[in-house]
Structure 1
Amino acid sequence: MDLTPRPLPPPRHALDAVVHPDPYPWYRERVARAPLVFDAELGLWVAASAEAVRAVLAHPAARVRPPLEPVPAPLAGSAVGAMFGRWARMNDGSAHAAVKPMLQGALGALPAPRWQPAGEACRQALEGPAALDAFVLGWPVRAMAQLLGLAPAEAVAHEVQAVVAAISPRADAAQRERGDAAARTLQQHWQQAQATPMQTLLASAARSAGVDAAVLSANSLSLLVQTQDATAGLVANTLHRLAVDAGLGEAVRRGSVPLPYLLDEVLRFDAPIQNTRRWFAEEAQLLGHTLRAGDAVLVLLGAASHDAAVNPSPERFDPARAAPVSFAFGLGGHACPGATLARSLAASAVQGLLDAGLDPRRTGPARHWYPLPNARIARFSPAQEHASS
């Protein structure tokens, strides 16, 4: 009997890559052979190379939402839809120009936080794969809730997960209804929030920018939503890498591999946010192709970070890599304003788990990835176990 492991079939298409066990050889081939192409199956242009990704994200005609559908149709008229419509990251023009600097200024002025993930919470996370998954998804949102003065943090985390599920293109009617209720509950938490340094910074920045209370509330709460996927994915994918590389965890404990370097290489190699989309408001010329008004582009952030033009030997995972180029937090006008904060949150979680006795070799590599359209978050428990937890 031939016991030689069979090679994995490649992803069927770019959206399938997000949950594929190893999409990166396929990504690298796309970078080399199809840096910008129209995918007839998806009905989208797909940008893979660093050059194409930069060109799309920097183009003045590229929009973060379809011009005729600023809020997804299934969310229109709901509380979660109203929240979505006020988010800076889902707007262009004046709505984005006023709010984005507000968020950047508040986050940039925030004193370096001393995260203290409870030792007991970390120890409980080691009780099994489902407990580890629950910690990974919950800790970043709970920490952000504390920054924003929202309580109880555990309840806030559950509401955020409901909102994240509701805004997914794959959400069903029940998930959208649950997300709508969650959005209303989060607004109540915001109205009852305690004063914190971050609250003060956000309020001051909002006054200076002329941002009203509803927009301030929505965008402050959006930080929770963005934290959910991006930071949880960075933590989970780092734990997966520690399990894949048997000596890496011990090297981090010894200090021979600084944790920030490890996180930067995970962001480069196994990005928590794999793709984003742009819609063109007018005709544009990109890399020799004509994109017409209304065309949509799937921007493969995870592929661009595997472009040898910006990261030599991209197939090699190397925490000592000099200045790795990552597109995980986007770039240009819509680059994530919380990139530094996300790294801090992720570092605290990984370090807390290692200090609590996590042995990635015993935990093992991820078994699955959450079925999300753009976020790659490793999951260590079987799908049915997670569903019942």
Structure 2
Amino acid sequence: MSTFSLERVACDRMLGLAVRGRLADSLLMRANTARPHLSAAFLATKDDPYPAYAELRARGPLTRAELGQWLVTGHGAVSALLRDGRLESRMPAEYTRLTLGDSPGVDFLHRIVLTRTPPEHTRLRRFIGRALGTPVVRRLHDRIAAATDALLEPALDRGRLDVVTELAVPLPVGVVCDLIGIPTGDRPAVLTRVTALAKVFDAANLSPADLADINTALPWLHDYFGDLLAVRRAGSGGPTLTEMYWEESASDRLAVADFVDNMLFLFHAGFETTMGLVSNGVAALLNNPEQLGRLRADPALVPSAVEEFLRYDAPIQNVIRVARKPVEVAGQKIRAGRTVLLLLGAANRDEEVFADAERLDVGRDPNPHLGFGGGLHHCVGTALARLMAVVVFERLVDRVTVLGPAAPAVRRRHASLRSYDHLPLAVAAR
């Protein structure tokens, strides 16, 4: 890929900040505009991006954005491209250096499973799958249920629950820390640094202070996980990923840097997706009380409700790909080197696939949503996120009466991830 193409890739991702000041409420330009000022990063930060997604879908499954970027909105096209080997998730080193500068975050992004290709991708997923595969996750049900109850008890006693900070974050953080093998006393410090590191995934909104946070957090985390690996070596053969690491033969064992960066990615992804799924789902039920009534009348609907929350207000709104080879979609050719934004949030409201797509339906069946992406790079924590969400909503439906908002909700602003920073509710025990 030429340097010019790489600069265009970087500009595409950074476009969110530059374009915001000149976007009108309607994010679509006239049909004959050759280079519309569209930014998927900006769309994802809106309180309600779905009307704009509907406008984009009305123009067809593929929309040209500024600087040659393509936005894909139709369910069929997004689903197909998620599985198309001509698109890759791995970003060139020049792209990340244009957005992150000379930062340790550059190497981090190029080591994680999200951006790797086979055979490295296969090795990493196999290793992570030992802790996050469906058979292992199913055995966590009782532990997750007990942890959920323990988090709800004090909230019910005081009559107030912040769904995000008191439930949707501490629950997955505790579970993922158990899986990795992070001692309880170390978890607050690790979470603080992982939260700072996570800013690397929002390049469109990075400030100099954010970049400084990344540059400080990552070396600390590498030192911490290196020490943790050394300590856990004495307990080789145990159930945690840091102990499983030493079970690998010397020839098969991941490099320490690869292991550490992927544990950091797993830590982040483990709570990020669940936080969005739970908080968005609770907000959807608050806005659709008749659907909450259906769940109370028939709790067996909770698993299908979780799938509907993933469709209706997906925690992952878009994923970025780069075309390795030319790809044709709906008669339009995407040239090699172009960035392609697959808008999962838009695809999940496609009326050609989902009847009454704008309506929340906790019993929707079938529900072929793309809330966790798809293809080679589908979310590694899918089974765990689903289980945690099912347990949480079973408990909320069974044990909690929502009396109303305790304070205004605070929507999180992120270029690709959709959730809340705070969702405070007045609650009582049922």
**TM value normalised by structure 2:** 0.76
The reply to whether residue 158 of structure 1 matches residue 183 of structure 2 is no
Structure 2 counterpart of 1:54, from 75, 79, 87: 79
Q: Distance in 1 between matches of 2:87 and 2:65?
A: 18
Q: Match for residue 276 of structure 1?
A: 319
- Using a 3 Å threshold, how does the CA distance of structure 1 residues 120 and 104 change in structure 2: closer, same or farther? closer
How does 1:104-253 map onto structure 2 within 5 Å?
104-108=129-133, 109-112=135-138, 113=140, 114-115=143-144, 116-117=146-147, 119=149, 121-124=151-154, 131-135=162-166, 136-151=168-183, 152-169=186-203, 170-190=205-225, 191-192=227-228, 197-199=239-241, 200-201=243-244, 204=247, 209-253=252-296
Question: How far has the Cα of 1:336 moved from its partner?
Answer: 1.3
State the alpha-carbon separation in 2 of the partners of residues 10 and 367 from structure 1: 25
Structure 1 pair 46–261 and aligned structure 2 pair: CA distance change class (3 A)? same
Q: Give CA deviations for 1:2-48 in whole Å, capped at 9, x if unaligned.
A: xxxxxx955564333323333324323422422112112x6410000
Tell me the CA shift for residue 98 of structure 1: 2.8
C-alpha distance in 2 between matches for 1:176 and 1:128 = 39
Aligned length: 373
CA distance in 1, matches of 2:355, 2:92: 38
Supply the AA of the counterpart residue of 2:62: L
Residue type of the partner of 1:140? P
The 1:222/1:287 distance shift into structure 2, 3 A limit, reads same
Q: Find the aligned partners of 2:363 and 2:249 in 1 and give their Cα distance.
A: 40
Deviations 1:306-348 (A, max 9, x none): 1233323222211111131111211111111210111122333
Percent of counterpart pairs with the same letter?
A: 26
Name the amino acid aligned to 2:215.
D
- 2:315, 2:408 → 1: CA distance? 14
Displacement of 1:257 in angstroms is 5.0
Indicate the SS of the match to 2:289.
Answer: coil
Query: Do 1:106 and 1:202's aligned partners in 2 also have CA atoms closer than 8 Å?
Result: no
Flag the 1:258–1:224 CA change in 2: closer, same or farther, 3 A: same
1:334 to 364, 367, 377: 377
In the TM superposition, what whole-angstrom CA distance separates every residue of 1:166-207 from its partner, at most 9, and x where no partner exists? 442112222222223222333344332656524245654787
Where 1:333 maps in the other structure, the secondary structure is: helix
Which residue type is aligned with residue 258 of structure 1? L
Contact 2:277/2:389, CA 8 A, preserved across alignment: yes
Question: Could you tell me which residue of structure 2 aligns to residue 27 of structure 1?
Answer: 53
Note the residue ranges of structure 2 that are not aligned, 5 or more in a row. 1-23, 29-37, 425-430
Q: What is the CA distance between 1:123 and its match in structure 2? A: 4.5
Quote the RMSD (CA, aligned, Å): 3.1
Retained in 1: the 8 A contact 2:313–2:345? yes
The one-letter code of the counterpart of 1:21 is: D
Q: Deviations over 1:346-376 (max 9, x none)?
A: 33344455566351x5138974421100011
Displacement, 1:139? 3.2
Higher deviation after alignment, 273-282 or 310-319:
310-319
Q: Which residue of 2 aligns with 1:371?
A: 413
Equivalent pair of 1:137/1:232 in contact (CA under 8 Å) = yes
Max Rg structure: 2
The unaligned stretches of length 5 or more in structure 1 are 1-7, 383-389
From the superposition, tell whether residues 281 and 242 of structure 1 become closer, same or farther in structure 2 (CA, over 3 Å): same
**Structure-1 residue corresponding to 2:34:** none
Q: Which range is displaced more, 284-293 or 331-340?
A: 284-293
Q: Distance in 1 between matches of 2:395 and 2:151?
A: 9
Superposition TM-score, scaled by structure 1 size:
0.83
Counterpart of 2:47, as a letter, is P
**1:18 equivalent among 44, 47, 59:** 44
Whichever residue aligns with residue 63 of structure 2, its letter is: V
Query: 1:245, 1:106 → 2: CA distance?
Result: 36
Q: Which moves more between the two structures, 106-115 or 193-202? A: 193-202
